[in-house]
Amino acid sequence: MPIHDQSYRHYGGGRALPGRSWMVIAWAGIRAFLRKRVFLGLMLFALAPVMVRIVQFWIASQYPQASVLSPTAETFRQFLEQQDFFVFIITVYVGAGLIANDRRANALQIYLSKPLMRTEYIAGKLAILFFFLCLVTLVPALLLVLMKVAFDGNFLFLKNNLFVVPAIIVGSLLQVIVASFTMLALSSLSKSARYVGILYVGITFFTTAMFGVLYAITGTSRVSWISITANLTQVVDVIFRLKPRYATPWQVSLLVILGLIVLSVSVLERRVRGVEVVT
């Protein structure tokens, strides 16, 4: 009798009910990125502005003569806008290969032959990008609110600006959701992460450049709906109760954003399949 049977053995342990695989996908993806030093460096760099803001808040709370540094609701909007750059970089770095690499390695048929639905696969992949984008927008913004309250030693700021926390949550999530869905949809279109990255950068810059050209020609910012970033800026401004900076009605910008999300979902629905049917 062998000391240890190295032949095939049947499994007698427990199994999780279907519906949790998206967490397995998300966790595996998050861990994969956290193992990359370059990415960790990028994340630290993205969180550097938070440190600057914390110092600013502390000085403002400690030294009355520095009250010019004291944060207002607009400060948090400015912070989120500042983080747009990092949202862009992280979206390209993390998101470009999320589905494209799986398509290159024919991994979709491996995933979808397991007891998980396509929506779970997409949710798992979205969660990876969502997690990292929230880590540079929503989480630090809420942390800043917390620091402001802690440095002040009272809730006066929150009482006077009740809308700030909901605005941070909605504004950040809007930024994160648009970036995540758009990038994931693009990632599902190709087998090359590099191509997807270039495509995303191209679309972002092209729409912004188009807006710039039309603005220069027409002299009005009513055409800002052409630019994805301008639409986001417009809507998030409104969420923070600021005067919209473009002439396009914010409702139009919101519609464009929602349309973009619907289009992305539609692309994902068509592209994430166990078999690619070429007719």
Partner 1 sequence: MDTAAAAAANVVALDDVTVIYGKNQALKNVTARFTKGAVGLLGPNGAGKSTMLKALLGFVKPDQGRMTVLDMNVADSPLAIRARIGYMPESDAHIPGMNAVTFVAYCGQLAGLPPVDAMQRAHEVLQYVGLGEARYRNVETYSTGMKQRIKLAQALVHDPDLLFLDEPTNGMDPKGRDEMLELVRDLGHNKGVSLILSSHLLPDVEYTCDHVVVMDKGQIATQGRINELKGPAGRVYELRIKGNLPGFIEALAKEGMDTHATDEDVMRVFVPDALGGHQAIFRAAARFGVQVRHLRPSVPTLEDVFAKAIGED
Dihedral angle sign, alpha carbons of residues 267, 275, 109, 12? positive
User: Is there binding between residue 162 and partner 1 (CB under 8 A)?
Assistant: no
Choose, by CB under 8 A, the member of 2, 3, 7, 37 that binds partner 1.
7
- Provide, rounded to whole angstroms, the least separation between the CB of residue 47 and partner 1: 25
Cβ atoms within 10 Å, residue 49: 17
User: Is there binding between residue 258 and partner 1 (CB under 8 A)?
Assistant: no
By CB under 8 A, the residues from 22 to 61 that bind partner 1 are: 24-25, 28, 32
Residues in contact with partner 1, shown as a per-residue x/- string from 85 to 104 under the rule CB under 8 A? ------------x---xx-x
User: Is there binding between residue 192 and partner 1 (CB under 8 A)?
Assistant: no
User: Is there binding between residue 209 and partner 1 (CB under 8 A)?
Assistant: no
Q: In sequence order, what are the residues at sequence separation of 6 or more whose Cβ sits closer than 8 angstroms to the Cβ of residue 141?
A: 76, 79, 80, 83, 168, 172
Task: Report H helices in the chain.
Answer: 21-34, 37-62, 73-90, 96-104, 107-112, 118-136, 138-152, 156-160, 164-187, 193-218, 228-239, 250-271
Query: Rounded distance, CA 136 to CA 150, Å?
Result: 21
- Provide, rounded to whole angstroms, the least separation between the CB of residue 13 and partner 1: 5
User: Is there binding between residue 15 and partner 1 (CB under 8 A)?
Assistant: yes
Which residues are near partner 1 by CB under 8 A?
6-11, 13-18, 20-21, 24-25, 28, 32, 97, 101-102, 104-107, 109-117, 273-275, 277-279
